Structure 1
Amino acid sequence: MQIEYMREFLAVADEGSVSAAASKLHIAQPVLSKHIRAMEEALHVQLFLRSPKGLTMTPRGKQAYHTFREIVGKYDDILCLFQSENNVLCGQLRMGILTMGFDSYIAPVAERFNQRYPNIALSYATENPLAIIEGVIDGSLDIGFLGQTRFDDRGQIAYRCIGQDELHAVVPKGGAIAERGYITPADAAEATLVCLKTKETTDVLNDLVVSAGFRPRRIVEVDEVEVSSSSVVSLNGFFVIPDFMCSVFKASRNVDIVEFDTPLYLPVYFAYRKTVRNQFVSLFLDSIPFDEEQRRLDGAGCADE
Structure 2
Amino acid sequence: MKTNSTKPTVLIALLFLLAFSSCKKDSETKNVAEATADKTEQIDSKILKEKNAAEKAIKREKELKLLDSYKDRQYKNDFVDENGIPISYTVKRLIGEKINLGTTGVIKDIDPKGKWESYELKISIQEITNQLKINGILQDEIKTFQQVYELEHKYNWGSVTNNGRGINETYEPDTEKAEKRVEIFQEIDRYSPTSEESRTKWKQAYSALIKNSGILNMNSYENFLNYKNPSSDISATKNETKALSDNLIFSINVDNLRVRTSPELNSEKIENLAIGSQVEFIEKSNNQTTVEINNKEITEFWYKVKTPSGNIGWIHGCCFDK
Q: TM-score, normalised by structure 1?
A: 0.25
Larger relative CO (CA 8 A, sep 6+): 1 or 2? Answer: 1
Q: Which structure: greater helix fraction?
A: 1
- Structure number with higher strand proportion: 2
Larger radius of gyration: 2
